Amino acid sequence: MQNPYAPLDQTGVVINDLDIGVVVNTIREQGYAVVENFLPKDAITGMRRAFNSEVPITEMRAIGTETGRTWRAHNLLAKTRAADDVFLDPRLRGIVEGVIGRYNQINVTTLFNTLPGETKQFLHQDDGLWPIPRPHPPFLCNALFAFDDFTQENGATHLVPFSHTWSQPVDQSVESIQIEMRSGSVVFWEGGMWHAGGANVTTDQERMGLFISHQVSYLRPQEMQLLAIPPEVARHLPHKLQRLIGYHTFGLGVDGRDPLDVLADGIVVNPEARPADHWRHSYGLKDEN
């Protein structure tokens, strides 16, 4: 029996002139793939405006950086509608399904801005949060969209090619490459890839981008979307986006109901349900003492 959670074979699948199969196979082989000109300029302008004016930001001091020179905004789907079209882009959906399978959900949503003076992060794996022995099937697919040009000088992301297949931790001195790409481009990588944000200590340029992480739907997400996004916001999201933030059918749902029905109507006891004594009498069983 075929595993329903297995990554999809996207060979020959082309969406909006992008060969999804080629991108997916590149990610499977070397751990990452770059797609140029994924986002149009007007989309970037809208998201940049939202990041600068609508979305509260915090200073990031983590993964080896202590300068506070990276600004981040998490839980974007609760705070702005500026990026909804990116989450629903059929090319993104096709690539994610090719890497981790059809049954996936959003794990993390982050807008970030790496400012002049930021130092390099430690190399790390994003799938290390789940204590699953390696090697294991891929269960994270990450996408990093460039709003500004990413260059070596302004801190372009470091990746360690092929490291998504390694079972042992890497030394921080391991050789890495920096992914330079133009505004509007995106780099995808599998969650086991060792990577790090680069240093931006020699320029006066900001490096802004959008990070979206997807995971298989049976794992607990790093960013708890069902709590993070208020129900009054989630009710008005597109149907597919509601599924992607966790209102999907898995196991029993809520009292045997589709979570989206519960989102719309609230918790309602199943009107067909009956107390145990009702069924006991129906089957001619004796009452329990």
pLDDT tens sequence across 235-258: 999 999 999 999 998 888 888 889
The helix/strand/coil state of 83 is coil
Domain with CATH 2.60.120.620 in the chain: 14-248
> How far is the CA of 207 from the CAs of 131, 143, 242, in angstroms?
32, 16, 30
Place of tokens 């000088």: 153
Per CATH, the number for 14-248 is: 2.60.120.620
The helix/strand/coil state of 142 is strand
Full-model pTM: 0.93
pLDDT values of the chain reduced to their tens digit, one per residue, 289 residues:
678 899 999 999 999 999 999 999 999 999 999 999 999 999 999 999 988 999 999 999 999 999 999 999 999 999 999 999 999 999 999 999 999 999 999 999 999 999 999 999 999 999 999 999 999 999 999 999 999 999 999 999 999 999 999 999 999 999 999 999 999 999 999 999 999 999 999 999 999 999 999 999 999 999 999 999 999 999 999 999 999 999 998 888 888 889 999 999 887 777 777 788 877 778 888 776 5
